[in-house]
Structure 1
Amino acid sequence: MSLDGLLTPPDRQQREARHGHRGVAILLTGLPAAGKSTLARAMEARLFALGGECLVLDGDRLRAGLNRDLGFAENEREENLRRAAEIAALLVDAGVVVAMAMIAPLARHRHLLAERLGADYREVWCRASLDNCERRDPKGHYALARAGKLVSFTGVSAPYEAPQAPALILDCDTCSVADNVERLLQWMSAEGLLGSLMQNTR
């Protein structure tokens, strides 16, 4: 059977041109309840409203589905992130902005993502104090961890290593979600990640 006349699949550059922005994976890292997922969803909504393509990879949702076979031992945490990185790489190649809302508590975890995604990876620290995160505690996890009913919980019984050189730091203690999203998008635009997309706001 002849293949003459079949269309050539679009490459990454063509997809990015249609979307109006680069494909990129942005890790939103921070303590549990810092506001990573809320920020990622708000970012997704803003980019969608502008005509962009953004998808959230939420750590909790991944663990409820694709990674439900993984626990929280060190090797399992790394496998959780490895799988997330592979998904992100596929989406980035399709010209999608990937908002990775994941704790990624240790420097070596974040290095794993950076190594796999290379120039398509950016690290954003959703900085919030432990006290504020515990006060929010929307899922009651901190309370369970303090009671000894939840083991290896980041911030209580497992460490969180603050990023030493993130591309951007967002103040999730005192700034609103809306303000942080705008700051995130302005930074992305300044980095050349949003191409022509932000012209829609002028």
Structure 2
Amino acid sequence: MSRRGVTVWFTGLSGAGKTTLSCGVAQQLRAWGLPVEVLDGDLVRQHLTKGLGFSKVDREENIRRIGFVAEMLTRHGVIVLVSAISPYRAARQEVRRYIGSFIEVFVDAPLEVCERRDVKGLYRKARAGLIQHFTGIDDPYEPPEQPEVVCKTAEQSIPECIDLVIQSLKSRGYV
């Protein structure tokens, strides 16, 4: 019998903790010998979606492409962990429908916390007008309406948040 794959989609502002959480979940799942792939938004943009900008149309196409890869892996029994800002609710809903086996994780951190965590200085550059279409500054972020998991990374520890995601996977029979 083959195992069921699933896509766990981490969404939230830049600096909210999406990559940290997805990598932590991946580490735990790999320790259990489970097939896991992480599709990190920054890395995907360097390779799979290179050439796309940050307009609404390009961001939606970026999410579609990530969703396409995630669906293929999910279909083959892989636990796919996507960490991407994915600011538009409709685009996330589209990939949810396309993939099917889907858990949305809202990595919820206030903008001011994300700005404090910003080691790359992206928020500072966006506020100075050096970066256009920056989510949370001059581009919107539409929070999920009914995510399966909410991780409040300004209030909860990373291990607590990782455990919430693992428990969600367990309760749905994926691990």
Same fold (TM over 0.5): yes
Separation in 2 of the partners of 1:154 and 1:95? Answer: 33
SS class of match (1:122): strand
Task: Tell me which residue corresponds to 1:53.
Answer: 35
Report the RMSD for the aligned CA atoms in angstroms.
Answer: 1.0
Q: Verify: 1:173 aligned to 2:157, yes or no.
A: no
Structure 1 stretches of 4+ with a deviation exceeding 2 A read none
Instruction: Structure 1 unaligned segments of length 5 or more: list them.
Output: 1-12, 17-21, 195-202
SS class of match (2:66): helix
TM-superposed CA distance for 1:115, in Å, is: 2.1
Separation in 1 of the partners of 2:160 and 2:102? Answer: 23
Separation in 1 of the partners of 2:21 and 2:135? Answer: 19
Please list the CA deviations of residues 149-195 of structure 1 after superposition, one character each: whole Å capped at 9, or x if unmatched. Answer: 0000000010011111111111111212112111211121112221x
Q: Which letter maps to 1:39?
A: L
Task: Tell me which residue corresponds to 1:185.
Answer: 166
What does 1:1-202 align with in structure 2 at a 5 Å threshold?
13-14=1-2, 16=3, 22-118=4-100, 120-194=101-175
Identity %: 38
SS class of match (1:38): helix
- Paired residues of 2:149 and 2:164 also in contact (CA < 8 A): no
SS class of match (2:22): helix
TM-score relative to the length of structure 2: 0.96
Q: Specify the structure having the higher radius of gyration (Cα).
A: 1
Q: Which letter maps to 1:130?
A: L
Separation in 1 of the partners of 2:168 and 2:62? Answer: 28
TM-superposed CA distance for 1:36, in Å, is: 0.0
Separation in 2 of the partners of 1:109 and 1:138? Answer: 28
Separation in 1 of the partners of 2:110 and 2:26? Answer: 25
